[in-house]
Amino acid sequence: MTEKPRAADPAATGSAPGGSAKAGQDAGEEPRVVIRDKRKIGKAGERSGAAAAAADAAADAPAEGLVEETEVVVDEIETEAPVSGPPVVDAPAEPTEEAVEPEAPLGVELEAVRAELDERTRDLQRVTAEYANYRKRVDRDRNLVQEQAIGSVLTALLPILDDLDRAREHGDLVGGFGSVAEQLTTALGKFGLTAFGEQGDPFDPTLHEAVAHQTSADVTEPTCVQVMRRGYQLGERLLRPAMVAVADPQ
């Protein structure tokens, strides 16, 4: 009876997984995992249940018969050996030339400060001038209102002064009545009231109101020859013109 050839023993030939891995490591190659699938070649439909069980049992041993070896190579897994020593800390990245902003020259910065100072100085001067003009305008308006109020009061007292002038012409301002008339005239003069219009004054149409005209050889220019009512001024303001008779030269 002819003996069937047996499959080579993996342990004898040194092709066992452990031996292969060790040989590979000794040779400088990285280890790999090999999975062998040993099954008898046959048709599953022709074997019975007992034959299948016997075949499975015989598959574990190096039994006779043809055996198909299938190698499955698992992807190699690289592992890094731990590095001894202190941990390596990455150095901070140095700033690039684009990230570093160049410092502005001192002259440019000084020029900017001077320009801002000049602008603030001009603003202050403008505000000071506006405030000064405002104060002048307020003072002028206040003086004008005050002058108008005083002028209104004095204008109301002018008829009384006209009566005092007529009484003086007739010689009635004597005794205590004359003293009161003088005190009143002095008090009104303190407010800036001045009288004008005397006989012989040159005729001024801005100050005199001519109610009569005549010719005379004694004058060389229009002259007031008779004063019918005196005129009054409050400072430079005309309260009432003088009523006069004018003589023109022949």
Q: Provide the mean pLDDT of the chain.
A: 73
CB burial of residue 131 (10 Å; 0-12, 13-18, 19+)? exposed
CATH of the domain at 235: 2.30.22.10
Q: Residue 47: helix, strand or coil by DSSP?
A: coil
- Bigger pLDDT: 249 or 30? 249
Domain that holds residue 247: 193-250
Q: Which helix (H) or strand (E) holds 247?
A: strand 242-249
Tokens of 218: 């004694």
CA distances from 177 to 126, 172, 194 (A): 60, 8, 21
* pLDDT band (50, 70, 90) for residue 107: confident
- pLDDT, average across residues 162-189: 88
* pLDDT band (50, 70, 90) for residue 161: very high
- Bigger pLDDT: 241 or 74? 241
Single residue among 39, 71, 103 that ends a domain in this structure:
71
Closest of 242, 240, 218 to residue 230, by C-alpha: 242
89, part of any domain: no
* pLDDT band (50, 70, 90) for residue 173: confident
52, part of any domain: yes
Domains of the chain: total: 2
Single residue among 71, 86, 111 that ends a domain in this structure:
71
pLDDT of residue 23: 42
pLDDT of residue 238: 92
Per DSSP, 87 falls in state P
- pLDDT, average across residues 16-21: 42
Q: What residues have CB less than 8 Å from 83, skipping those under 6 apart?
A: none
154, part of any domain: no
Tokens 């043809």 found at: 66
